[in-house]
Amino acid sequence: VAYTVYTNNTYCGAMRGFGATQMAFAYESQMDILAHKLRIDPIQFRLQNAYEIGSTTPNSQILTHSVRVKETIERAVEIAGWKGAAQ
């Protein structure tokens, strides 16, 4: 038999963002599949769909600042030497 007892200490559990990396793998894999089906380079697909200042999110929020997603993708492509998706 076990009992849960709350004290002034936080009980054990997952830290903030638990599962985020697993979900990122899933949705990034889906992005690759969609790009392949549309015959678009996966990087170009991401750049075309990346949020930027002025973009409207699904909950109607208009973004007033940038997190530099496009710049980050472009720099990663440069560093990695990306030449396009393998055929």
Q: What does the domain layout of the chain look like in residue ranges?
A: 20-80
pLDDT digits (tens, 9 = 90+) for 21-75: 788 889 899 999 999 999 999 999 999 999 999 999 888 899 999 889 999 999 9
Element at 71 (helix H, strand E): helix 69-80
pTM above 0.75, yes or no: no
Residue 51, C-beta contacts closer than 8 angstroms, at least 6 positions apart: 57, 63, 67, 69
Region of 51 (left: φ > 0; alpha: ψ -120 to 50; beta: rest) is beta
